[in-house]
Amino acid sequence: MLMRKLGRTGMKVAALCLGGNTFGWTTDQKTSEAVLDAYLEAGGNFIDTADIYARWAPGNAGGESETALGTWMAARKNRHEVIVATKLGGPMGKGPNQAGLSRLYMMQAVEASLRRLRTDYIDLYQAHWDDRDTPLEEALRGFDDLVRQGKVRYIGASNHVAWRLTRALWESDRHGYVRYECLQPKYNLVVRDEYERELEPLCLEQGIGVIPYSSLASGFLSGKYRRGGELPTTARAAGVQKAYMTDRGFAVLAAVEKVAAGAGATAAQVALAWLAHRPGITAPIASATSVAQLKEIVGGVGLVLDAEARATLDQASAWKDT
């Protein structure tokens, strides 16, 4: 659905969405621009960021990723070639009205993002998290006004559970507001049930585009984390150890590496290929901190897995109802 919607603007969504979460954090401006250049040269055009990126890094205030992307687009004069997806709702300060989806904050947040991105419109504006303190009608009316004003083309939801997404779709239909056309869930070979249990059938039935994040399980599915091995010296290593370095996680990784060896591909490419060709997936999100890494992940979405390979991955990563 997202591909068809954005196609009305004359643009087709690339099979891989480049994650901008590393811009202003683990990649400086020069490196970020090199990665972005390589992505466009490879045929990519869909870039995901958020106002909160990379507020968690020491010395950052938030907005660094959007600023990096905006600086690159202004220098290359290529805004018309790029589909920009960004998000609001995360805390951008400690005071009141600096987070969430209230109308007051939304109107402030969109102007701040537009300034940082150095553009006058956002292709896909997403609610980063569900805000249960703000009435859905208020949030959706705010989004509707932004679309009517031409500042936003389409809206999406991230980190929403199925019943809340269903409720939001109903509210949009009831009031005639724009609706969430896209979902950004956490979804990968290790964590399947959170999306597949209820969100997948909902998105397929409602024609909602899906751009999953954590496609490589924060790098775990690239194979750089080994059982009993020394952890990489990265900011996310501790989180990966807790979330993915389990018996189940390593069993899935073993299946990924087995398929990769047979396909003459890398583990990361296999994990992305499996995800990119799942039903209803518009484009998996993956980040790159170097041009070499970018070329690797781009190769993943073009990789076609045979039936035996898919069965191996499906069986190793299958979840059970409890």
Placement of tokens 């990563």 in the chain: 317
In tens, the pLDDT along 171-181 reads 999 999 999 99
In tens, the pLDDT along 216-225 reads 999 999 998 8
Q: What is the 3-state secondary structure (H, E, C) of the chain?
A: CHHHHHHCCCCCCCCCEEECCCECCCECHHHHHHHHHHHHHCCCCEEECCCCCCCCCCCCCCCHHHHHHHHHHHHHCCHHHCEEEEEECCCCCCCCCCCCCCHHHHHHHHHHHHHHHCCCCEEEEEECCCCCCCCHHHHHHHHHHHHHCCCEEEEEEECCCHHHHHHHHHHHHHHCCCCEEEEECECCCCCCHHHHCCHHHHHHHHCCEECCECCCHHHHHHCCCCCCCCCCCCCCHHHHHHHHCCHHHHHHHHHHHHHHHHHCCCHHHHHHHHHHCCCCECCCEECCCCHHHHHHHHHHHCCCCCHHHHHHHHHHHCCCCC
pLDDT for residue 100 is more than 70:
yes
Q: For the residues 136-156, what does the mean pLDDT come to?
A: 98
Mean pLDDT of the chain: 94
Q: For the residues 205-223, what does the mean pLDDT come to?
A: 95
Residue 220: inside a domain: no
Domain total for the chain?
1
Q: Mark whether 53 is an active-site residue.
A: yes
Residue 243: inside a domain: no
pLDDT for residue 240 is more than 70:
yes
**Which one from 39, 53, 125, 177 is the annotated catalytic residue?**
53
| Residue 121: CATH number of its domain | 3.20.20.100
In tens, the pLDDT along 253-282 reads 999 999 999 999 999 999 999 999 999 999
Domain span holding position 136 = 2-184
In tens, the pLDDT along 288-300 reads 999 999 999 999 9
Q: For the residues 118-130, what does the mean pLDDT come to?
A: 98
Residue 47: inside a domain: yes
In tens, the pLDDT along 32-85 reads 999 999 999 999 999 999 999 999 999 999 999 999 999 999 999 999 999 999
Q: For the residues 10-21, what does the mean pLDDT come to?
A: 82
Q: What pLDDT is stored for residue 97 in this prediction?
A: 84
pLDDT for residue 6 is more than 90:
no
Residue 235: inside a domain: no
